[in-house]
Chain A
Amino acid sequence: MRLKSKHKRYALSCLWICLLFFTSAPSFANQEQDAPGLELARQVVKEAKNTTTADHSRFKALNQDFTSGPEITKACLSCHTEAADQLKKTLHWTWLDPNSPKDNQRGKAGYSINNFCISANAMNDHHCNECHIGWNEKGKETEIDCLKCHGQKKINWEEVFQDYKILTESKDPEENVLAKDAQAEIHEAAQSIGRPTRKNCGSCHFSGGGGDGVKHGDLDPSLINPNRKLNVHMGYDGQDFECSRCHTTVAHHVAGRIYGTPASETRHSLLEHDLEPKIMCESCHSDKPHELSSKMNDHTDKVACQACHVPVIAKVLPVQRWWDWSRAGKKKDGKPYDVNGPFGKPVYQSTKGDTKWEKNVIPNYLWFNGSIKGFTAKDMIDPSKVVKLAWPEGNRNEKNARIFPFNIHSGKQPYDTVNKTMTTPLLSGEHGYWTTFDWQDSIQRGAKYLNLPFSGKIDFVETAYVFPSTHMVAPREEALKCNQCHTRPDSRLADLAGFYMPGRDKVKLIDIAGWAIVLSSFVGIVLHALGRIFANGRKKEE
């Protein structure tokens, strides 16, 4: 009889285990279905990719002979009548932050200072203007170049227009015939129109700061044709997103952060507001992107999605991490020279100084409410400290602030030791530093363009500049694991202070209390089980 009851208990236990196993297994299998954020994201990308309804090669306006870029723009605007007015109000044209004070306006056309080519000297450093969306290097004193963003065929416009002019005006009939070939090239490029591709956006955003991967770490030419391992959204073997898929564009205004203005202050999903731009992760994935039972959903109010899903940047190409202008200007045999280092990148250039490059960089984690405080040439500095030329705003008490990954670029730049301000040297052109190697003269010229004082006395100060790491989104299997943050001593969040984080932090009292609860629970369970066993056994005997 006793044996039988034992068997019964074993059978019951087995039944319980089976029941537990079979009830929990389906919920694991259906994890994706349970994640409301994932379902929403799938709905968002359901629509067909090709929405073009026009063949631009059939437009009469684009079949005339063009002798200059602005003529092409005129042809574009003959149909797209509002485009120029729309575009000229955007940051892409103005290069000015509309939300900054008028007497200290941020932006490349304003007083902003960065960690790379330092200043665009109010668009008078023509080298910087290569990335402005006009037809030449004269900044805003030209017509919009629609093809910078919409052209699907890249050609050297300056060269082909010059060729066309010379070949047309030549007295050699053979050259006149070849002029038609030059015009055919112009036509082909002017008629190859489309929505901006990764290549269009990348021609500036992947190579800003004077070369590939100088600035961001999560934006470089490897994203022109990435696989999903590099970027799960943009990968050709994944969703194959173009930039504008998230940088939703309305009337030529491209969604995204503008200096101190966050990309979105509402953080709504498309379920809440269907006309919201898709610029935030929450826009498509909602604030519950994981399966409903997942603890990860409880993190989204304090940890940005990118913190776990962009675990590494500069995965294919190296990113520049250090730029020391104080070392620039050395010459060999009276001539400027370059020294290449690892990754085939320059580690010294007479024109630029020392630089350091890294690959597979682990980001730094900081609180971020979506605003980045930028520094200008008018702001006073404290040269005894590192000057943070661009630094995220926000702290853990702010509703919109999250822990966010950043690429921190450091360097050294010249500053005015009397006025205690950063300087704005002119770099390119006949009188720029890259030609004259004369700091005094180039800074004087740069200051003049911005109407700023310059004492003539300079030294170099260490600077830092952040870029949010948001683009190289890894597939979920490569996202951070819990124990990469909830650990000690190598937690990724080791530098973030002011809050208790299980696993990373240790408070003796809490630990003792916790273990006491665990232990007493265990003892309680054992005592209870023993009580049931003995009581049960006695009952049977009776």
Chain B
Amino acid sequence: MLKRLIITLMAMCFVFATIGIGFAGEDGNARKGKYTYRNVYKSCNKRGEVDSPRPPLGPDSKTQAQWKRTFDKKEFDQFKCGEEWSKLSEKDLNDIYTYLHEHAADSPSPAKCK
């Protein structure tokens, strides 16, 4: 009886954890993320740090796992424009992550950054 209870509890934990992780990564607003991401480079370009107002990396520059690792570790140095990235809220970052993750190279709908 106890064994069955433990197994049931473990299974429930596993299911909730999996669903939770899934939702945690995808609850941002991809559309907002797309324009917020582009605005980072428009501002940065105006400030003169980068030559182009277009983001250097499109969603299809990385796989979903690579985007997850990048945002989990907040490795934004590779994106340049540190000043703009540092001003983004957690919600903004999650929106950007959702956009990039949804259209990553190995996603069902990979996209370049127009």
Residue numbers of A with Cβ under 8 A of B are 154-156, 159, 163, 166-167, 174-175, 178, 181-182
Contact = CB atoms under 8 A, between A and B. Distances in A.
B102 to A, nearest CB: 13
Contacts, number: 22
Contact of B114 (A156, A178, A181): A156
A175 B114 CA distance: 19
Contacts of A163: 31, 34-35
Contacts of B35: 163, 167, 178, 181-182
Interface in B28-44: 29, 31-32, 34-36, 38-39
Contacts of A174: 32
- Give chain B's interface residue range (CB within 8 Å of chain A): under 10
Interface string B76-92: 00000000000000000
A159 B35 CA distance: 12
Contacts of A154: 114
Nearest to A160: B114
A181 B38 contact: yes
B38 A175 contact: no
A109 to B, nearest CB: 30
Interface of B: 29, 31-32, 34-36, 38-39, 114
Nearest to A180: B35
Contact of B31 (A155, A156, A166): A166
Contacts of B29: 175
B14 to A, nearest CB: 29
Contacts of A166: 31
Residue among B29, B35, B39, B114 having the largest count of chain A Cβ atoms under 10 Å:
B35
Nearest to A184: B42
B114 A155 contact: yes
A23 B41 CA distance: 67
A182 B34 CA distance: 10
Given A181-B38, A181-B39, A167 B31 contact: yes
Given A178-B35, A181-B35, A181-B38, 17 more contacts: A155-B114, A156-B114, A159-B114, A163-B31, A163-B34, A163-B35, A167-B31, A167-B35, A174-B32, A175-B29, A175-B31, A175-B32, A178-B31, A178-B32, A178-B36, A181-B39, A182-B35
A176 to B, nearest CB: 11
A71 B32 CA distance: 25
5 contacts: A159-B114, A163-B31, A178-B31, A181-B35, A181-B38
A178 B34 CA distance: 10
Interface majority SS (helix, strand, loop, mixed), chain A = helix
Contacts of A156: 114
Nearest to B31: A163
Contacts of A182: 35
Contacts of A159: 114
Contacts of A167: 31, 35
Nearest to B34: A163
Contacts of B114: 154-156, 159
Contacts of B39: 181
A156 B39 CA distance: 18
Residue among B29, B32, B38 having the largest count of chain A Cβ atoms under 10 Å:
B32
A479 to B, nearest CB: 39
A364 B48 CA distance: 54
Contacts of B38: 181
Contacts of B31: 163, 166-167, 175, 178
B59 to A, nearest CB: 13
A155 B34 CA distance: 14
Nearest to A178: B35
Nearest to A163: B31
B35 to A, nearest CB: 4
In order of increasing CB-CB distance, the 5 nearest A-B pairs are A178-B35, A181-B35, A155-B114, A156-B114, A163-B31
A181 B31 CA distance: 12
A174 B38 CA distance: 15
A510 to B, nearest CB: 64
A286 B32 CA distance: 59
A163 B31 CA distance: 7
Residue among A155, A166, A167, A174 having the largest count of chain B Cβ atoms under 10 Å:
A174
A262 B103 CA distance: 46
Nearest to A188: B53
Nearest to B92: A174
B29 to A, nearest CB: 8
Contacts of B36: 178
A156 B58 CA distance: 14
A85 B31 CA distance: 38
A182 B36 CA distance: 11
Nearest to A177: B35
A156 B32 CA distance: 17
A378 B90 CA distance: 64
A167 B31 CA distance: 8
A172 to B, nearest CB: 8
B44 to A, nearest CB: 15
B61 to A, nearest CB: 17
A388 B47 CA distance: 61
B100 to A, nearest CB: 16
B98 to A, nearest CB: 14
Contacts of A181: 35, 38-39
Nearest to A167: B31
Nearest to A153: B114
Contacts of B34: 163
B39 to A, nearest CB: 6
